[in-house]
Amino acid sequence: MTLSMYQASVPCFIRMLGNLSKILDKAVAHAAAKKIDPTVFVNARLAPDMFPLSRQIQIATDGVKGCAARLAGVEIPVYADTESTFPELQTRVTKTIDFLKSLRATQIDGSEERDVTLKLRGKETRFKGQIYLLSFVIPNFYFHVTTAYAILRHNGVEIGKSDYLGDFE
């Protein structure tokens, strides 16, 4: 049995974004229970030179919507990157999931050899579709989702590995 480009991307992205949404819900509940201003979490970071939680979520969602659109050959949705509250971050995650759900396997399958060019650190970087997905997008996506999780966990939100992995039904 082979694994298609669609199967290796969209369902995995949707699943992890759903898990991230539930983690954000737990952060909101934690802030309310502990009487902590939620912006403390939204602006929290693991190290002074790292992006805050809000930017981690922006990068994660940008990465997967851009990937799916490029592989499907459709226009990439543009978001303003102005989210500063949990409701705004949740809206962004939901919009991304909705976009991903709008794509069909037939749009993405067969994109292994599609040329993808990105501007990274001021220079053009070229990929073939499969390498772009497997060696760039997936690791980058999981890095930013994991970092968002770690920021919240570090700041006392009661989440664990089972929250990150989600339910398996």
Report d(CA 163, CA 29) in Å as an integer: 14
- For every residue of 89-119, DSSP letters joined together read HHHHHHHHHHHHHH--HHHHTT-TT-EEEEE
pLDDT of residue 168: 83
* Mean of pLDDT values over 135-141: 98
User: Which residue has tokens 């409701």?
Assistant: 87
Element (H, E) at 19: helix 10-34
Dist. CA 69–CA 65, nearest whole Å: 6
Which domains are present in the chain?
11-164 (1.20.120.450)
The reported pLDDT for the residue numbered 18 is 98
pLDDT digits (tens, 9 = 90+) for 19-57: 999 999 999 999 999 999 999 999 999 999 999 999 999
Q: What is the pLDDT of residues 82-130, one digit of tens each?
A: 999 999 999 999 999 999 999 999 999 999 999 999 998 899 999 999 9
